[in-house]
A and B are shown apart, each in its own frame.
Chain A
């Protein structure tokens, strides 16, 4: 029986899938759950929030994400609450806010990127050394701050409850940083850490233009597009696409690696994918030892064939 707060992350009003995963996890036992959502109008999110006992709606004129405002507001809410646990996603926002909370709240400790939580025994599991090993940690501070890895916890159907809603005003003093502007990439990119399917390209892609071969396949599958470091360093792809030890750690249902040799630093970034498919022209490439399904061949031939075949199948 734990008292759990959940930070709900909105991305331009879009209710991220990781929120549903966290709510499903927190409401699975007999815990008391409070969702904290930063929005002046939550009518669109009622169903998404099904299952929680309480909602704290944070309102304000300046609700655009600002790590200082959000962290100061959350810290104030947590201090006034009796939460044993405060959960959020291991996302850009989570990585920005949760360490600030740990700094602001005495008697708290933070563990990031957890793949398992045992609320009864205050234990969490998290991958370390880029997932080469797993670590179980016990947290004995009163407030346990935890961010969860996206795409790990299943989304369950939740019934609507009689939820109590209260309001809170955004705190805007004590801003230490000033946001000057935000530039969004023109193409609507799919978040690799939440993507169900990822099509990834390596040095074998040979040019920036050739990435369109993968983008077409990705569009058909509603997949994200990833890259190896060699592809990023050769400027075929941008760093936000890099998968691996010094890029993103992803775990989609399906990861299709095209023209990627399978170096350890790349593999650790995608090895928890449910199914790995490798397309490589070198039958000796190490990726074939790690892929569930391998195809030896020229990616420029195989990928278009695959696209045609998938168009028929889905």
Chain B
């Protein structure tokens, strides 16, 4: 089975972000990482491959040239192949999903598709479900446990405050990984060396028939929210400060 893992490269969670030209972030000096939920997706795919002879893990990403390093990191963890849809364009969520679905359709014998429940850049929270819709496949999001039983997949997912739902689906299907699914491994030195030698498959948007983008969603503005004014530390004996805090909460800011 050809397992797919769809990943996105995003700014490091520590990154301080500045806006350029009012619409995009200034990428200078930013450290890039694989979106954390996509790391869970990669790990689960590699585990599945290790348990099943003949399975291959294929990494697929759409993004600019720099995203190549995200694919290399995933290969270093133990994935087999990398496909890079290279573009400087920013297709909107629905288009991105259509393009990714089209790229998967072109690959033979595609089985389980692992994705993240959300990419932590624009937090668009939809591409995994859209990919499933465009491929006509079952999908489960927020997945915290995954097992494969013959030709079925059984997963647990969080559906509400602390409530867990168990779902069964056929294969192929799409999994939207969440925290708790596994602990992603670190790449070994050998893995990193090996990953460097794996040739990547590069495709363009026009190869997939998406030379024109629809633009039904456009970004008008990107800006920093107002800074929170610096607060104050209450000084005094514990009994006094606690009394003062309750007074402030009740009478001053009225949040009780």
Contact = CB atoms under 8 A, between A and B. Distances in A.
A41 to B, nearest CB: 22
B94 A110 contact: yes
Interface string A139-157: 1110000000000000000
Contact of A254 (B160, B219, B220, B255): B255
B203 to A, nearest CB: 23
Contacts of B17: 129, 132-133
Given A110-B93, A239-B180, A293-B232, A134 B126 contact: no
A130 interface: yes
Contact of A305 (B94, B169, B238, B256): B238
A134 B221 CA distance: 8
A130 to B, nearest CB: 6
Interface stretch (A80-88, A201-209, A268-276): A268-276
B52 interface: no
Nearest to A221: B256
B36 interface: yes
Interface range for B: 35 or more
A165 interface: no
B158 interface: yes
Nearest to A147: B125
B109 interface: no
Tell me which of A103, A113, A305, A313 has the highest count of chain B C-beta atoms within 10 A of its own C-beta.
A103
Contact of B11 (A129, A288, A294): A129
- Please tell me the size bucket of the interface on A: 35 or more
B53 to A, nearest CB: 28
Contacts of B122: 128-129, 135
B151 to A, nearest CB: 13
Nearest to A95: B125
A246 to B, nearest CB: 5
Interface stretch (A18-26, A42-50, A54-62, A172-180): A172-180
A288 to B, nearest CB: 6
Interface stretch (B67-75, B130-138, B189-197, B204-212): B130-138
B160 A112 contact: no
A292 B160 contact: no
B255 A296 contact: no
A134 B154 contact: no
A114 B231 CA distance: 27
Contacts of A276: 228, 231
B65 to A, nearest CB: 21
A139 B233 contact: no
Instruction: Give the one of A99, A132, A137 with max B CB within 10 A.
Output: A99
A292 B231 contact: yes
B13 A264 contact: yes
Interface stretch (B41-49, B77-85, B242-250): B242-250
Given A180-B166, A288-B231, A137 B179 contact: no
B198 interface: no
A96 B169 CA distance: 16
Nearest to A12: B160
A28 interface: no
A245 B179 contact: no
Contacts of A112: 123-126
B140 to A, nearest CB: 6
B221 A275 contact: no
A309 B93 contact: no
A177 B152 CA distance: 11
A297 B159 CA distance: 37
A111 B123 CA distance: 10
Contacts of A283: 233
Given A92-B160, A110-B94, A309 B246 contact: yes
A275 B234 CA distance: 15
Given A139-B217, A177-B140, A177-B167, A313 B13 contact: no
B168 A180 contact: yes
A240 B162 contact: yes
B161 A191 contact: yes
B4 interface: no
A169 interface: no
Contacts of B51: none
A166 interface: no
A230 to B, nearest CB: 14
Contact of A294 (B163, B219, B231): B231
Interface string A275-301: 111000001000011111111110001
28 contacts: A65-B159, A92-B158, A102-B93, A110-B126, A112-B126, A126-B123, A128-B222, A129-B11, A129-B121, A133-B224, A134-B224, A135-B221, A138-B218, A140-B218, A141-B217, A176-B169, A182-B165, A239-B144, A239-B158, A254-B256, A275-B249, A276-B231, A290-B231, A292-B231, A292-B232, A295-B233, A301-B238, A310-B256
Given A109-B217, A239-B179, A240-B162, 15 more contacts: A65-B159, A99-B128, A109-B216, A139-B216, A140-B215, A177-B168, A178-B168, A180-B168, A275-B253, A293-B245, A294-B233, A294-B234, A295-B241, A309-B243, A310-B246
